[in-house]
Structure 1
Amino acid sequence: MIRPTICVTLSGCSVGGMLADAARATAVGADLCEVRLDKLWVTEKKPDPVEINPVSTNGRRSRPAYVPPEYIPKSLDSVDLAASLAAFKGGIDLPVVMTCRPVRQGGYFPGTEEQRIAVLRNAIESEVSWVDLEADIDADVRADLMSLAKGKTSVISSVHFSEEPDSSGEIIQDIEELEGTGEILKVCYATSGRNSALKLFEAAWMMKESESKISIMGLGPCGDWTRIHAPLLGQDIVYSTMETGSHLSSQGKINASDLLIAWEMLEYN
């Protein structure tokens, strides 16, 4: 059973924070790091502490509810992109995936689409190992980026859906529509529990013999099923995090160290 590539999406909203997270990812045995360039244009505001009753009515110690941070946009000129790209190139030992996610697909980049494309073009010109190009980028613009990347930067073709899939067949159709748009085809859906997660699992199982390199994932409760069972499902790349906490499971995410432990326990290694 072939072990999928583990890609750690770096936490933080600054170059320094991401570089520190990259060092941790390298130490635990990750294969790739994803740099979310769009998050350089936001400031993370953590919620104020919430007072809780340490003991619930049944006598058990209760945990505080997880409250996600707020991301406050910054001006476009607040980021020195050239210096940031140089710092990532010199400061991360692992191969890197550069991503600049638009708001329409759950990202944070505050500028126009033309400005975002310029960021992606600069990332490719920095000769990064991988770049994530959304499948819904204007066809002519995307073809230009693909041409620029050819021979030096591999492409992950991605789609992020804000809704749950109707069926496993819909997921397979979405993947088939991505054929030829990148070296790896990545689809991500919202999940709300076992029902939607099973659709992802079934689609991944049905596609495991495909010649295409595929990553099927969910964000939300049970969205981590295809990540945990990626070796069984023939997934080529699995996204993980260096974050820790019980909230990760409800978000469909998994810590990279926990992922490796799970694979060992399930004898996937």
Structure 2
Amino acid sequence: MNRPLVCVTLRGRTADEMARDAVVAKTSGADVVEARLDLLWTTEHRVEPKSSSDEKRNGDRDIIEVEISRLDLDAVDLDSALSTIVEAVDLPLVMSCRPERQGGYYPGTEEQRIEALRAAIKCGPRWVDLESDIVKSTRDDLLDLTGDDTGVIASMHSIDGTPPASMITQEIEDNQDLGDIIKACYETTNRTEGLRIFEAAWELRESGINTALMGLGPGGDWARIHAPLLGQFMVYTTTESGWHLAQQGRINASDVQTAWSLLEYA
């Protein structure tokens, strides 16, 4: 079975932080890195809740909460940030700028976000992430800019839960002509919903569609861990580590490759 590409979504809320994480991603065995430009307009503050002595004796772990604050649009010099990221990254690069309607943080209008994507495409990334719900005429204009060297990831990020496996499969098939890779990410509230994503990926494994299916929440990492078996093209990971990743449906880049080796997938 083929080994999927390992894509690390760069951590950080500034271009410099993303550039530093790109170095860590490379040492973790990443094939590709993703720069989520919408995160440049955010800051984060970690809130560590206090545990009682009884909880500590019982071995309970604290849940570290992260508060995310948003910046105004004019707080970021996008051209400078793009230059910093492009110069620092020496792996194939995915550029994305997720809108609020799909769980992102870009603070401007849709027209301004499209201009940010135009600027990203002009930097010549290996792939650009274009949401499947972008207006067709606008999407066509962006596609005209990509040329032969920049591929397109057609993405769907659902913040309204996980539909049945049959609906996920149908959605992927309906959108297969929108990009070179079809990415779908769903928020899961339980492992049953995580299994729906796994089932959809299994049904699509011989479809010939380059897929990247995943969940955020319980069971959301199953499609990532078993991606070689499911014939997935790309798996999104992080350089972050910790027990909390499994609860969030995410996985560390090194850990997923170790899992593939132990499962004799790759």
CA distance in structure 2 between the aligned counterparts of 1:156 and 1:55, rounded to whole angstroms: 48
For the 8 Å contact 1:54–1:63, the answer to whether it is kept is no
Which one-letter code corresponds to 2:165 in the other structure?
A: S
1:125-152 per-position Cα deviation (integer Å, ceiling 9, x unaligned): 1111111000111110011001111313
User: Residue 199 of structure 1 aligns to a residue in which SS?
Assistant: helix
Counterpart among 75, 78, 102 of residue 105 in structure 1: 102
Q: Specify the alignment match of 1:186 in structure 2.
A: 183
User: Residue 51 of structure 2 aligns to a residue in which SS?
Assistant: coil
For the 8 Å contact 1:5–1:31, the answer to whether it is kept is yes
- Please show how residues 215-234 of structure 1 align to structure 2 within 5 Å: 215-234=212-231
CA distance in structure 2 between the aligned counterparts of 1:197 and 1:135, rounded to whole angstroms: 22
Which one-letter code corresponds to 2:49 in the other structure?
A: V
Which one-letter code corresponds to 1:77 in the other structure?
A: D
Say whether residues 1:64 and 2:48 are aligned partners. no
How far is the alpha carbon of 1:38 from its aligned partner?
0.3
Counterpart among 229, 235, 239 of residue 238 in structure 1: 235
Say whether residues 1:6 and 2:6 are aligned partners. yes
- Please show how residues 99-178 of structure 1 align to structure 2 within 5 Å: 99-178=96-175
User: Residue 162 of structure 2 aligns to a residue in which SS?
Assistant: coil
CA distance in structure 1 between the aligned counterparts of 2:263 and 2:18, rounded to whole angstroms: 31
CA distance in structure 1 between the aligned counterparts of 2:87 and 2:34, rounded to whole angstroms: 15
For the 8 Å contact 2:22–2:33, the answer to whether it is kept is yes
CA distance in structure 2 between the aligned counterparts of 1:126 and 1:166, rounded to whole angstroms: 36
Which one-letter code corresponds to 2:188 in the other structure?
A: T
- Indicate the RMSD between aligned Cα atoms, in angstroms: 1.3
How far is the alpha carbon of 1:55 from its aligned partner?
3.9
For the 8 Å contact 1:14–1:40, the answer to whether it is kept is yes
- Where do 5+ consecutive residues of structure 2 fail to align? none
Q: Specify the alignment match of 2:77 in structure 1.
A: 80
CA distance in structure 1 between the aligned counterparts of 2:72 and 2:46, rounded to whole angstroms: 20
1:3-30 per-position Cα deviation (integer Å, ceiling 9, x unaligned): 0000000111011111111100001110
For the 8 Å contact 2:49–2:64, the answer to whether it is kept is no
TM-score normalised by L of structure 2: 0.97
Aligned residues: 266
CA distance in structure 2 between the aligned counterparts of 1:225 and 1:54, rounded to whole angstroms: 34
CA distance in structure 2 between the aligned counterparts of 1:102 and 1:44, rounded to whole angstroms: 18
Of all paired residues, the percent bearing the same amino acid is 48
> Greater CA deviation, 125-134 or 161-170?
161-170
Q: Specify the alignment match of 1:96 in structure 2.
A: 93
CA distance in structure 2 between the aligned counterparts of 1:266 and 1:66, rounded to whole angstroms: 31
CA distance in structure 1 between the aligned counterparts of 2:192 and 2:49, rounded to whole angstroms: 32
1:44-63 per-position Cα deviation (integer Å, ceiling 9, x unaligned): 1222x322124439x52221
For the 8 Å contact 1:53–1:62, the answer to whether it is kept is no
1:174-202 per-position Cα deviation (integer Å, ceiling 9, x unaligned): 10111210000011111122211111111
> Greater CA deviation, 169-178 or 72-81?
72-81
How far is the alpha carbon of 1:166 from its aligned partner?
3.1
User: Residue 184 of structure 2 aligns to a residue in which SS?
Assistant: strand
Q: Specify the alignment match of 1:256 in structure 2.
A: 253
How far is the alpha carbon of 1:173 from its aligned partner?
0.8
For the 8 Å contact 2:46–2:64, the answer to whether it is kept is no
1:155-178 per-position Cα deviation (integer Å, ceiling 9, x unaligned): 100011113333111001110111
Q: Specify the alignment match of 2:194 in structure 1.
A: 197
1:238-268 per-position Cα deviation (integer Å, ceiling 9, x unaligned): 0000111111111100011111111111111
CA distance in structure 1 between the aligned counterparts of 2:236 and 2:63, rounded to whole angstroms: 25
CA distance in structure 2 between the aligned counterparts of 1:54 and 1:8, rounded to whole angstroms: 37
1:99-121 per-position Cα deviation (integer Å, ceiling 9, x unaligned): 10001000000000000000000
CA distance in structure 1 between the aligned counterparts of 2:157 and 2:61, rounded to whole angstroms: 31
User: Residue 143 of structure 1 aligns to a residue in which SS?
Assistant: helix
